Chains A and B, each alone.
Chain A
Amino acid sequence: MIRRTIAAAVAGLWALAASGAEPAPKTPDGTVADFSRPAQDPAAVERGKQVFSVNCGFCHGSGARGGEGGPNLLRSPIVLNDQKGEILLAIVQVGRPDKGMPKFNLGADAVSDIAAYLHSIPAGSVQAEVDPRAIIVGNAKAGEKYFFGKGRCGQCHSLKTGGDLAGIGSKYDPKTLQDHIVSGGAVTMLGARSPTAPARAAKVTRSNGEVISGTLLSIDDFNVTLIDAAGARRSFRRNGAAPLVEVKDPMQAHMDMLREWEDRDIHDLNAFLVKQK
């Protein structure tokens, strides 16, 4: 089976389906198979590509996504409904004079090869990888100023030898680095906190004065669950202000920035941090 490969946008992240916030389906082998076609014969695909580039590519584009006057064929209902050239054959041999397409003197075998080629190209929501170099458009000097100034990054992070961001530019590619500037690097699908995110500290003070501190697992209006100092999992009912629960989230500074960011500041910061080798 040739399956439509959607290169994952972010490591492990799924492409989006229009029909909701949900990620599009992706099989464990990294492909989306919901609309997949049967595998095409590689030799026929290769022959078809040749015939296409000579006869069709000028108008319909070298990748068949449209060119000089001819429409995108990959999304054309004619091509999508065609299986082995049976619909294409008449169109190629007769042409579409009303749309300015001449007829072509190609036989059934050649058209079948063209069909194999067209059907081998993924149609639909194809995503490409980010070019890591292309995204560095910011001003490193301005980024440095932002890091130590308005961005207050230096309050938690250090670029000095032994600091948490020392050599950060060697550790991550520029896109991952920039993504981490926004997210703090501790989120996963749809922005959910990753299991490897820095722990949130929770301190529960009960009405009898007992204090339980530990690592927060979950909190809502009704319960708080943490791992206490002894490693035990403990849940407490919450009723308004009782017991008193205090949470410290090392990611909070990143979350507080989300509404404030200007794209230029992110790009400048990234230009600065990629240089921290």
Chain B
Amino acid sequence: MMHFKNLRAAAAGLLIVGAAQFAYATEAAKSGVGESWPTYSGDYSGQRFSSLAQIDRSNVKHLTLAWAARLEGGADTGGGGPFAPPRPPTIVGGEIEKAVVTGGLFSSGAPISIRGAILQVDGMLYVSAPDNAWAIDAATGKVAWHFYWKTKGGTHTSNKGMGIHKNWLFMETADDYLVSLDARTGAERWHKEIANFNEQYFAEAAPIVIGNHVLVGAGNDSDAAGAVRSFDPETGVLQWTLHTVPMKQGDAGLETWPSLDAARHGGGNVWASGSYDPETKLYIVGTGNPSPAYVPRGRDGDNLFTCSLIAVNVETGKLAWYYQTSPHDTHDWDSAQTPVLVDAEFAGKPRKLVLQATRNGHFFVLDRTTGEHLLTTRFAQWGKWVKEINKKGQPVRDPARDASVAGSLVSIDGWTNWPPPSFSPQTGLFYVRNLESYGLLYYTEKDPQGAMGLGGIARGGQVSLGSIIQAIDYRTGKAVWQRHFGPGDGMLGALSTGMLTTAGGLLFSTDTTENFIAFDAQTGESLWHTRLHGVSNAAESYGIEGRQFILVAAGDMVYAFSLYE
């Protein structure tokens, strides 16, 4: 009757089949995510590889809906009419009397869109969207509680998920608070300021809990400095701050800026979550674009540590190493994509690696203990903006492809984005969503002092050719297979979606219409699909009492699938 196999993946894509007994995993483990999904990527590695193998290539065609839940947001969730299930009361938090609701697709008051990771711990799911959090029974889909945060405003593009430590949940709010909730009741324990709202920061990353540290970051589109911050999970006291750009004379990287003022306003914001290597105690996270983004006047130089992978010692908050994947970026091509930690053979030697496919269209392999560069390849279909790959393996941009008065053709939104990739130790392949779109970037700034933030440009003539799933062999950086999806329906072809791999030999993701698809991870063949209304987050897998579930969200809906029994 026991269907689970605990598959432990070894180096170089070899598989060792472990005990038939399914291990109840409560901690993040490098060998794959177990029954629970206790942190952003399921475990600290960023692989998004589930060790659950009940659902596999042979039986996935019998995958069927276990339950669906519609989540209501806002202060008053009265229910959806006489046939809607009863709702628990909403717990309301926030610093102001009334939420600032502006409307718009990515503003406060927008329709609920679940775009981040969903935690699964001890049979409960913890789901978030901007200003809202819910607890759902993982077996039945019943909502246990709902929390609503009265926001002061701020950019509401997404909430990328929550973190958990014992019974304490942690979520970031768009108006820059770290809010801690009691996971059992949804009651607020405390909230602390992460960043300064007046300086136009917005917080939306999933907090990462490592020991007694809660690691957070914030986004900013107005020339403010990026930082990783660590808070105490019990007290909410700030433990340390690591700025990602030089903030004072003598700070590392200042030589890559023309002035301290430029560096302090140079961006490099940390708006997505990183991965963690328990052996070296290094938190490895990607940083955002330099600022001003498109109008680089006044920030000559490489602009460290923007568009970089940085490795931070979680105990001290000190930078251990860095590798800049986009020196002097001029296209708003953040390097915030999930770093994926892999122990595997590289060039004949067992290595501790970190892999990243960045928004600039390049795939990087580094040694994660030292930051040593091992491989750069381009996964993008177009590389005219690259003048050369330099000796450090970095793409060096051609200034002629920057925004220009007459218009420069380029990929305006970049070649991938933050929705997470996946790595399967079974196949040795790295799976990434690759977007292909082009448009004209016009330089419009009239002020000789240059622009701020994302300003100073206009765009035009943008065309999406749709998206591609690439399965990249980490050893060569080359795709073993690709699945091309056309421009699709509406904007779906232009939006990135994430990846999940499982020990059942499967890859779960989407096409560019409305299909949620199980692919053969080895070949890319579609084995099962269903049509959901716009999948909005990356799929996950969890297990309850010997039953494996595949979890995915579409807007305000959460769906759990399992094998037909």
Chain B contact residues: helix, strand, loop or mixed: loop
| Selected A-B contacts with CB under 8 Å, 9 pairs | A23-B105, A25-B110, A34-B155, A130-B458, A176-B460, A182-B439, A222-B529, A258-B382, A258-B409
A28 is an interface residue with CB less than 8 A from chain B = yes
Q: State whether the Cβ of A219 lies closer than 8 Å to any Cβ in chain B.
A: yes
Q: What residues of B have a CB within 8 angstroms of the CB of A17 in the complex?
A: 106, 155, 157, 219, 221, 454
Assuming the A-B contacts A16-B332, A18-B269, A65-B447, are A191 and B456 also in contact, with contact meaning beta carbons closer than 8 angstroms in the complex? no
Q: How large is the interface on B (under 10, 10 to 19, 20 to 34, 35 or more residues)?
A: 35 or more
Decide if B288 touches A18 in the complex (CB within 8 Å): yes
State the B residues within 8 Å of A (CB).
102-108, 110, 153-158, 174, 196-200, 202, 204, 219-224, 261, 265, 267, 269, 271, 288-289, 293, 332, 334, 381-382, 400-401, 404-409, 412-414, 417-418, 435, 437-440, 442, 444-447, 449-465, 485-491, 493-496, 511-513, 515, 526, 529, 531
Instruction: Judge whether A135 and B271 touch: CB under 8 Å.
Output: no
Q: Which residues of A contact B438 (CB under 8 A)?
A: 182, 191, 258-259, 261
Contact of A175 among B154, B269, B418, B460 (CB under 8 A): B460
| A75–B271 touching, CB < 8 Å | no
Among A104-112, A119-127, A144-152, the stretch that binds chain B is A119-127
Residues of A within 8 A of B457 (CB): 9, 127
Return A207 CB to nearest CB of chain B, in Å.
21
Complex Cα gap A66–B451 (Å): 11
Contact with B along A169-188 (1 / 0, CB 8 A): 00000011011111110010
Interchain CB contact under 8 A, B105 and A19? no
Taken together as a complex, chains A and B put the C-alpha atoms of A77 and B225 apart, in Å, by: 10
Which of chain B's residues has its CB closest to A259's CB?
A: B382
B107/A25 in contact, CB under 8 A: yes
Contact with B along A1-29 (1 / 0, CB 8 A): 00000100110010111111111111110
Residue A167 at the chain B interface, CB threshold 8 Å: no
**Interface on chain A toward B: helix, strand, loop, or mixed SS?**
loop
Taking CB atoms, residues of chain A closer than 8 Å to B269 are 18
**How many angstroms between the C-alpha atoms of A25 and B105 in the bound complex?**
6
**List of 10 A-B pairs having minimum Cβ-Cβ separation, nearest first:** A191-B464, A182-B461, A179-B461, A25-B107, A179-B460, A124-B222, A9-B458, A125-B454, A125-B453, A190-B494
- What is the bound-complex CA distance between A127 and B526, given in angstroms? 43
- Which A residues, 40 to 93, have Cβ-Cβ distances below 8 Å to chain B? 61, 63, 65-67, 71-72, 74-75, 77, 80-81
New contact pairs (19) apart from A16-B332, A131-B405, A192-B487, CB-CB < 8 Å: A17-B155, A18-B220, A18-B267, A18-B288, A18-B293, A18-B334, A25-B107, A27-B104, A34-B155, A72-B261, A72-B452, A77-B224, A127-B457, A137-B405, A183-B462, A190-B495, A191-B494, A258-B463, A259-B381
Contact of A222 among B289, B454, B515 (CB under 8 A): B515
B452–A263 touching, CB < 8 Å: no
Contact across chains for B107 and A179 when beta carbons are under 8 A apart: no
Q: Which of B261, B417, B445, B455 contacts A20 (CB 8 A)?
A: B417
Q: How far is the CA of A181 from the CA of B513 in the complex (A)?
A: 27
Taking A20-B158, A137-B406, A220-B513 as contacts, is the C-beta distance between A9 and B451 under 8 angstroms? no
| Residue ID in chain B nearest A126 by CB atoms | B455
Whether B156 contacts A25 by the Cβ 8 Å rule is: yes
The chain A residue sitting closest to B265, CB to CB, is: A75
**Interface size classification for chain A:** 35 or more
Pick the contact of A192: B196, B293, B493 (CB < 8 A).
Answer: B493
Evaluate contact between A193 and B204: CB separation under 8 angstroms: no
Is the beta-carbon distance between A191 and B452 smaller than 8 angstroms?
A: no
CB distance from B158 to the nearest CB of A (A): 7
Contact B417 A183 (CB under 8 A): no
User: Which residue of chain A lies nearest to B485 when distances are taken between CB atoms in the complex?
Assistant: A220
Cα–Cα distance between A23 and B107 once the two chains are bound (Å): 11
Interface centre among A15, A20, A130, A135 (most CB of B within 10 A): A20
Q: Indicate if A95 sits at the interface (CB-CB under 8 A).
A: no
Q: Which residue of A lies closest to B494 (CB)?
A: A190
B458 contacts which chain A residues (CB < 8 A)? Answer: 9-10, 127-130, 175
| Docked-complex contact B202 and A72, CB < 8 angstroms | no
- A17-B157, A25-B107, A182-B439 as given contacts; A135 in contact with B452, CB under 8 Å: no
Closest to B409 in A: A261
Which listed residue, B220, B409, B513, touches A263 by the CB 8 Å rule?
B409
Bound CA span A35–B463, Å:
30
Q: Is the CB of B460 within 8 A of A10?
A: yes
Say which residue of B224, B334, B444, B512 sits within 8 Å of A75 (CB atoms): B224
Q: Which residues of A have CB within 8 Å of B488?
A: 220
Complex Cα distance, B207 from A243, in Å, reads: 49
Q: Say yes or no: A267 contacts B154, CB within 8 Å.
A: no
User: In whole angstroms, how far apart are the Cα atoms of A192 and B444 in the complex?
Assistant: 24
Q: Which listed residue, A13, A192, A220, A266, touches B464 by the CB 8 Å rule?
A: A192
How distant is the Cα of A137 from the Cα of B529 in the complex, in angstroms?
50
The distance from the CB of B61 to the nearest CB of chain A, in whole angstroms, is 13
Determine the chain B residues whose CB is within 8 A of the CB of A28 once the complex forms: 103-104
Which residues does chain B contribute within 8 Å of A15, judged by CB atoms?
Answer: 454
Query: In the assembled complex, how far is the CB of residue A40 from the closest CB belonging to chain B, in whole angstroms?
Result: 15
Q: How far is the CA of A124 from the CA of B223 in the complex (A)?
A: 7
CA–CA, A172 and B332, complex, Å: 29
Q: Which residues of A contact B439 (CB under 8 A)?
A: 182-183, 191
Contact B491 A190 (CB under 8 A): yes
Contact partner of A128 among B446, B459, B465, B485, CB < 8 A?
B446
Report yes or no: A178 in contact with B454, Cβ–Cβ below 8 A.
no
CB of B227 to closest CB in A, whole Å:
13
CB distance from A99 to the nearest CB of B (A): 10
Q: Is the CB of B200 within 8 A of A123?
A: yes
| Contact B444 A127, beta carbon cutoff 8 Å | yes
B406 contacts which of A19, A135, A183 (Cβ < 8 Å)?
A135
Supposing A18-B219, A129-B444, A129-B458 touch, asked if A66 and B202 sit within 8 A by C-beta, the answer is no
Cβ-defined contact, B200 with A178, below 8 A: no
Alpha-carbon gap, A134 to B449, bound state (A): 19
Report Cα–Cα, A7/B494, bound state, in Å: 23
Q: Are A191 and B463 in contact (CB under 8 A)?
A: yes
A125 and B455 contact, CB distance less than 8 A: yes
Q: Is the CB of A21 within 8 A of B440?
A: no
Any chain B CB within 8 A of the CB of A213? no
Given contacts A10-B460, A263-B406, is CB(A220)–CB(B271) below 8 Å?
A: no
